[in-house]
Copies of this chain bind each other. A is one copy, B any other.
Amino acid sequence: MKLKDVGEFGFIHRIRKGGVIRPEGVVQGIGDDASVFEPPPGHHLILTTDMLVEGVHFLEGRISMRLLGRKSLAVNLSDIAAMGGDPLDAYISLAAPPHREVEDLEALYEGLREMASSYGVNLLGGDTTRSPGPLVINVALLGKVPRGGAVLRSGARPGESLYITTRPGKAAAGLHLLLHEGRPRQDGEERLLRAHLDPVPQIQEGRFLAREGFARAMIDLSDGLVSDLAHLCAASGVGASIEEALLPVSEDLKAYAQRERLDLYSLILHGGEDYGLLFSVQRDRTEEMERRFEERFGWRPWLVGETTEETGIFLIREDGSRQSLAPEGWDHFRTSGFFKTPFSRRPGPK
């Protein structure tokens, strides 16, 4: 059945059910001019919004509508995680071509609801409209953090240790696989593909690092390690050095880069959409942070470098040489092709 057959209000009626899974504080959900809710006492509120556009952030046929729904919410959840917050309510705006199947868009909402219910998020409102071109999804996500407890990008000072909560580059390799091969040939490739298609927002980890006062500055890894580090450094007025020997390398990524003759460190430093966290910790608290984090989650974040008084971002090579790093991540208006990741090939035999 096509969207134009059920109509806007018919579609809203279909997706309206089951949106409120945490009724506490909700005065009015979907079905009025606006939602109405009681803000949680003792908290600051956090709000983030991200727009996903077909042909820019995803391609029809390369991601299932259910996964697209999950991912649309996940990328916003990751922003809440980077503030150390807990998500509350999501608002979904959708512009869809009228020839799209209703079942496709219901699958999109199924994915949204799945992700929402995993993180205790209400779907409280939105907008649906026709698109003469691409499918466009905008998510506005509200969260909360104990008053004064938000971790900003601007909190880092020189001499702090820099950590990441993921082995970066996997999502970029997954994207390369999706664009070049289509189907994974083995488990390792399947995991890379999943890193790209179905990212896991690190809400628990972000909240822990914020509540325990470990993270001084924090950002999520969406544009690429160097790009996001550059944002954090610019906001904090510091520089940073990253040690190549410390960068955690996923075995799946290493195998894929070798097979595809891709530059491994380019993927690690500049590949986007990993949606882990990058944060700074005062040096005298790193040991405690690592131990407590492991007690809580069963694994440790990876130390990758430190903030510096000198501005700029530098890579300390394994041979001790020092290389200036410039952001090569995604820029929506400059990138002419599809997607953000630059795929550098290793120089190889003729």
Contacts and interface: CB of A to CB of B under 8 A. Distances in A.
A130 B332 contact: yes
A153 B4 contact: no
Contact of A95 (B45, B51, B150): B51
Classify chain A: how many residues form its interface, as a range: 35 or more
Contact of A31 (B48, B49, B57, B153): B153
Contacts of A218: 33
- Name the residue among A96, A133, A142 with the largest chain B CB count within 10 angstroms: A133
A37 interface: yes
Interface string A266-289: 000000000000000000000000
B36 A129 contact: no
A46 to B, nearest CB: 5
A125 interface: yes
Contacts of A153: 31-33
Contact of A49 (B8, B140, B145, B335): B140
A83 B37 CA distance: 12
A93 B44 contact: no
Copies in the complex: 2
A150 B27 contact: yes
A193 interface: no
A260 interface: no
A17 interface: no
Given A80-B34, A132-B134, A334 B45 contact: no
Nearest to A277: B33
A344 interface: no
Nearest to A334: B7
A219 interface: yes
Given A8-B330, A130-B335, 8 more contacts: A4-B333, A33-B79, A37-B47, A38-B44, A38-B45, A49-B127, A57-B129, A133-B134
14 contacts: A9-B331, A11-B333, A32-B83, A34-B47, A38-B147, A39-B43, A45-B45, A49-B93, A50-B93, A54-B132, A56-B131, A96-B333, A132-B133, A138-B140
- Interchain residue pairs A-B with the least CB separation, the first 3: A133-B133, A39-B39, A34-B48
